[in-house]
């Protein structure tokens, strides 16, 4: 059912940092009856400021990332339909950064931001997982190249150690330990400049549309040149180095970041507009997507390389990315209006939002193991192979993240504190760990060695975490017993 409470989105927009003066009593006010105190005051419902529509957008965006990576790993360049779908899924890159700007601004638009405190908290939640997963993927890359011998070879002599440290430092700076970690690198850049961005927004009220227009102009100019030979200024030296790594800086994404910031800063007006014009917005977005796909097919038929036709930095593809983000946000507002608190769907969405960051971080290691088997069946129908690879990757990643969230290493691997050990069910976790280990051993022996090892190792971590939880709960119960007289 649609929530019958008045929506904040229907209120007129005002400056987020404006202070409302309390209204002074007047002589014309109606006097209250003497027995007013006997009438029970209506109980006000606690306002729920949670952005449920953002949970909806985030869930589909993380799912889209995994599907895009599956297509990139399996679909040949000649598979027009799969590559067209992959093109549309590139919206996820820009949507991530728009969501980042939106959520940060929504949290701080009406209150002061203390930059050191903000940085300390944010870098703890994203910096620790970034370092840990970078180390993991860096080590895994060496293992894939030469097994344990390659790992031991790092420590054979000083030259090897220096080279390894240089490689690791490069991956930490560029987010290149795995192809998806650039997102964390760019996010940390956003956190660095966000206090200044918020300061500017609060002092340029009335000029935000001009800031957005300037940002869009720069965005189009930059994308236009990123897919072409660089200007002579960027061909060598420090400018050349910056140009080479533009994709892991915030510059190609600044328009979407600022758009997210401004949408949240003017949340009441923005949300009201998105609700009021749902149908025409979706219609225009669908037309934009169709036109983009038609142009994509035309370009490929004219001989353009598939990599260039589906490039995330092509200016004409960006219109479809905006269209998809608009559609998802509109659908999110529908979910926000019609959700039933405490329902299965509501609990699922909340859990998915909690796990989404961990799923993003972990899905690449799971996908890499699944692709070992998927690439052995390239003669099978492509869509069946894509679907099965996607489903197995999602299930494996969810299992891994659920285990990590219950383990002592949850904070450094998922960016969230471990699920409280006092509410965990160590018996159920132990049973799941045994079943998972059995499945992992079966997969190792019959289907896929690497995937079997990953499932078995994950199950071992779950069993170890369950034992730790069981001991803690037993000790707590023993300490809570009253002493005998």
Assign 46 a pLDDT band (cuts: 50, 70, 90): low
Give the largest CA-CA distance in the chain: 91
The C-alpha atoms of residue 383 and residue 315 are separated, in whole angstroms, by: 29
Torsion angle defined by CA atoms of residues 328, 331, 336 and 339, in that order, rounded to the nearest 10 degrees: -130
> Can you say how many angstroms the Cα of residue 398 is from the centroid of all Cα atoms in its chain?
15
The C-alpha atoms of residue 356 and residue 350 are separated, in whole angstroms, by: 10
Distances (CA, A) of 82 to 86, 168, 198: 6, 34, 40
Mean pLDDT in residue range 224-240? 81
Residues 476 and 424 sit within 8 Å (Cβ to Cβ): no
* pLDDT exceeds cutoff 90 at 378: no
Assign 18 a pLDDT band (cuts: 50, 70, 90): very low
Residues 277 and 329 sit within 8 Å (Cβ to Cβ): no
Q: Which residue has the higher pLDDT, 100 or 144?
A: 100
* pLDDT exceeds cutoff 50 at 12: no
Lookup: tokens for 287:
């037309």
Distances (CA, A) of 330 to 4, 191, 275: 19, 27, 7
Instruction: Give pLDDT tens digits for 331-347.
Output: 999 999 888 888 898 88
Q: What is the pLDDT of residue 21?
A: 34
Lookup: tokens for 69:
């990576």
Q: What is the pLDDT of residue 271?
A: 92
H-helix segments, 29-157: 52-74, 80-89, 91-108, 115-153
* pLDDT exceeds cutoff 80 at 472: yes
Strand, coil or helix: 418 = coil
Instruction: Give pLDDT tens digits for 233-245.
Output: 787 788 888 888 8
* pLDDT exceeds cutoff 50 at 434: yes
The C-alpha atoms of residue 274 and residue 256 are separated, in whole angstroms, by: 17
Mean pLDDT in residue range 60-69? 94
* pLDDT exceeds cutoff 70 at 430: yes
* Domain ranges, ordered by start, for the chain: 52-341
Mean pLDDT in residue range 226-253? 84
CB atoms within 10 A of CB 331: 16
Residue 175 CB burial class (10 angstroms; 0-12, 13-18, ≥19)? buried
175 phi and psi, to 5 degrees?
70, 30
Mean pLDDT in residue range 37-53? 60
The C-alpha atoms of residue 42 and residue 477 are separated, in whole angstroms, by: 42
- Dihedral sign from CA coordinates of 346, 350, 353, 359: negative
Mean pLDDT in residue range 15-29? 40
Assign 158 a pLDDT band (cuts: 50, 70, 90): confident
* pLDDT exceeds cutoff 90 at 291: yes
Nearest to 401 by CA among 390, 388, 415, 391: 415
The C-alpha atoms of residue 93 and residue 256 are separated, in whole angstroms, by: 10
Distances (CA, A) of 48 to 20, 45, 52, 348, 417: 21, 9, 10, 18, 23
Mean pLDDT in residue range 153-182? 84
- Dihedral sign from CA coordinates of 217, 219, 223, 225: positive
The C-alpha atoms of residue 186 and residue 94 are separated, in whole angstroms, by: 11
Assign 465 a pLDDT band (cuts: 50, 70, 90): very high
* pLDDT exceeds cutoff 70 at 47: no
* pLDDT exceeds cutoff 50 at 8: no
Tell me the pTM: 0.84
Residue 114 CB burial class (10 angstroms; 0-12, 13-18, ≥19)? exposed
Nearest to 255 by CA among 218, 290, 201: 218
The C-alpha atoms of residue 276 and residue 96 are separated, in whole angstroms, by: 25
Mean pLDDT of the chain: 86
Give percent of the chain above pLDDT 90. Answer: 61
Lookup: tokens for 335:
């979910």
**With DSSP H G I counted as helix, E B as strand and the rest as coil, what are the percentages for the chain, rounded to 5?**
75, 0, 25
Angle 305-307-308 (CA atoms, 0-180°, nearest 5)?
70
Based on its alpha-carbon atoms, the radius of gyration of the chain, rounded to whole angstroms, reads: 26
Strand, coil or helix: 305 = coil
Instruction: Give pLDDT tens digits for 255-273.
Output: 999 999 999 999 999 999 9
Residues 181 and 220 sit within 8 Å (Cβ to Cβ): no
The C-alpha atoms of residue 431 and residue 403 are separated, in whole angstroms, by: 13
């Amino acid at each position: 059912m649609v929530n019958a409470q008045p929506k904040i989105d229907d209120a007129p927009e005002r400056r987020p940092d404006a202070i409302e003066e309390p209204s002074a009593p007047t002589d014309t006010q109606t006097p209250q009856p003497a027995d007013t105190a006997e009438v029970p005051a209506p109980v006000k419902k606690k306002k729920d400021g949670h952005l449920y529509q953002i949970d909806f957008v985030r869930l589909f965006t993380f799912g889209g990332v995994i599907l895009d990576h599956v297509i990139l790993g399996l679909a040949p360049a000649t598979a027009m339909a799969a590559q067209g779908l992959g093109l549309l899924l590139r919206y996820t890159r820009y949507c991530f950064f728009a969501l980042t700007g939106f959520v940060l601004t929504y949290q701080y638009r009406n209150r002061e931001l203390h930059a050191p405190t903000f940085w300390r908290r944010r870098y703890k939640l994203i910096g620790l997982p970034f370092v840990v997963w970078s180390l993991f993927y860096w080590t895994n890359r060496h293992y894939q190249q030469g097994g344990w011998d390659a790992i031991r070879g790092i420590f054979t002599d000083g030259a090897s150690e220096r080279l390894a440290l240089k490689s690791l430092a490069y991956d930490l700076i560029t987010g290149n330990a795995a192809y998806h970690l650039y997102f964390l690198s760019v996010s940390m850049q956003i956190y660095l400049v966000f206090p200044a961005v918020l300061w500017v927004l609060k002092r340029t009220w009335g000029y935000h549309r001009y800031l957005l227009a300037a940002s869009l102009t720069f965005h189009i100019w930059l994308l236009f040149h990123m897919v072409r030979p660089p200007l002579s200024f960027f061909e060598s030296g420090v400018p050349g180095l910056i140009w080479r790594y533009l994709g892991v800086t915030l510059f190609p994404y600044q328009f979407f970041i600022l758009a997210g910031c401004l949408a949240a800063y003017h949340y009441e007006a923005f949300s009201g507009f998105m609700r009021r014009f749902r149908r025409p917005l979706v219609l225009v977005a669908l037309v934009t997507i169709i036109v983009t796909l038609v142009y994509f097919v035309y370009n490929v038929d004219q001989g353009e390389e598939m990599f260039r036709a589906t490039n995330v930095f092509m200016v004409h593809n960006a219109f479809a990315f905006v269209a998809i983000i608009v559609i998802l946000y509109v659908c999110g507002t529908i979910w926000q209006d019609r959700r039933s608190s405490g329902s299965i769907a509501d609990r699922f969405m909340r859990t998915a939002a909690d796990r989404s960051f961990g799923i993003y971080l972990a899905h690449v290691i799971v996908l890499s193991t699944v692709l070992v088997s998927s690439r052995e069946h390239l003669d099978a129908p492509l869509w069946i192979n894509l679907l099965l690879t996607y489903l197995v990757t999602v299930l494996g990643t969810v299992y891994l993240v659920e285990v990590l969230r219950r383990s002592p290493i949850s904070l450094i691997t998922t960016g969230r504190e471990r699920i409280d050990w006092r509410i965990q069910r160590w018996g159920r976790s132990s049973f799941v760990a045994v079943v998972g280990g059995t499945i992992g051993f079966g997969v190792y022996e019959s289907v896929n060695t690497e995937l079997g090892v990953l499932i078995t190792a994950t199950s071992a971590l779950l069993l170890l975490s369950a034992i730790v939880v069981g001991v803690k709960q037993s000790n707590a119960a023993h300490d809570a017993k009253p002493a005998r007289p």
